[in-house]
Chain A
């Protein structure tokens, strides 16, 4: 134990000497949450819309204002020529086109079905499918209102609505996040992501730096075993990462109304377990690499994109192909995110996610064990 503390104290002195690194590790994560928490959103508003109005009637203007007043679309302007419209989309100045045919008003008065065309820039498939949904809903609502309008003198020509038909309505209830705010989904993901990167990069250079500078030989001669050395290297960084993770959680609650429906001790325990695992991953990388450059490369490639894309932070794991779903079991953030969301959003107790905590513990133990083994072999 004394040896672990000695290594820890030495590492701490080294950290304190490099103020920039310390400040980055402690405070930048919370600052990032602030910035990205606002920037990251799936809620789509103000889609830039161009209108091709071939009817220029009261009704066509009503449809356009229905689009604009919904808040989902922002009118860029009217344009008649197809070529000019295509160019606007190519340049990205417009993301959607609403095209209203001639005789729109006349057909509506006669209650004849009319078709309006909506063109959507599909380059971002996710946005495009949401915008498609908005457009459908707006047009359906507009149609329903027009159907209800009675045109004087024309009643006789309107078909009879017919007998009663069964209707099935849905009574939706949404739990945990009733307003479907994407921030409540993304902020826990950001917490996991930022903590993961901070933890991995903090330890990834710690061992290899000694190798590169040649001080490793001195450590080897000292009466410190590989396990004590590894633990001592982790402790100071664990303290820093833990502080910064707790700061992020507080920031999330203060700024983004992230609720806290579960137990605090459980949350802190899960955070600790996750950080130990992430730092163990960093240490393992550090023992494998021979130069800091390689360590840096492996650390980033193994944490930055996988944590973002394979953890369920942004992309739902259940929609991925089976093989890729298998790979996600290697990403510790996957387990942490289940626990984090269950605790803060769902207020669930440990029975709902104990398997994920066990998986995190296994990950941390295996990574620590492998790192110690690597060192032992190198020192032998």
Chain B
């Protein structure tokens, strides 16, 4: 790598926030602050330093599209905010080899009373474009957003779809070399999201560098060649989207219970225990077996429903099996259950299973409880099953039975 290819480099970037422990120590009013200083002139408030980012270092080359993932609080937004100069780092250094345009929120600075035309000019200026640049891009922006007829209508009369389209369109036409985008693709309808992703790709092929935060694994996998995962303010991993998401799926869910657990005491009225796969690998035409126990502690008026969700490698739920769907009543006490998904029709690849008990409130839930792999078809001629990759959830042809414990 020649260093002249660099779009940006980050060395030892850290950002600390100070959290005050005692509410008295946080002076909300000037008088409090003054009084406090007078009373205890040399006292330092009891505070804790929270490192939103800690010693983050990475380089990004020109023309790269980089996805940033990490669960809430991992430091994604703080990273983007320091890169786009909204907030200052506590330590470290960022070198930017091009103009940065950032879109951390769709429609920031849009004013409801102003017309579409006025908002394009205003928002362009807010995002850092000069008047001349906005003028030059004006038609392209209007065209992209598809709001020609409503240009002179105040945006408060726009539908939410139109509003979002217009806001994104302005940002997408930023003429900066580095584009930073935070989670904004989560808005708008599917068609528009596709259009936005297409625009991002187009921007990148034009030699621009794009940093993209998203929870949507598919949009990152589709758009980015490189993915960076943050965890507790540090870089956990940098690699291809597939590699990083695999790792993400295995570590990034401490907020929910993950994996096999025994002897828990959750105080809930029902629990899932001992989940096991019938086999770790299946062929696509083989029935999949999921076994687990349900411990139901007391009689409830409503029927308890056991649910297994099959999740593909990009985090989409592709199949759902429920005990209610199979008319199985879960009795009190400990019972061994077996789900048999007869024709899963899954493409080869890795899958995980989430298990849950609902009545209809969720009584227990284990994400990533089990994993299995669908092997490639044994012979091509036999692979005539339907592929399910459009994101829809399918209630599979499945059986549920009470197995011998």
Q: Do A and B bind each other?
A: no
Residues of B whose CB lies within 8 Å of any CB of A are none
Residues of A whose CB lies within 8 Å of any CB of B are none
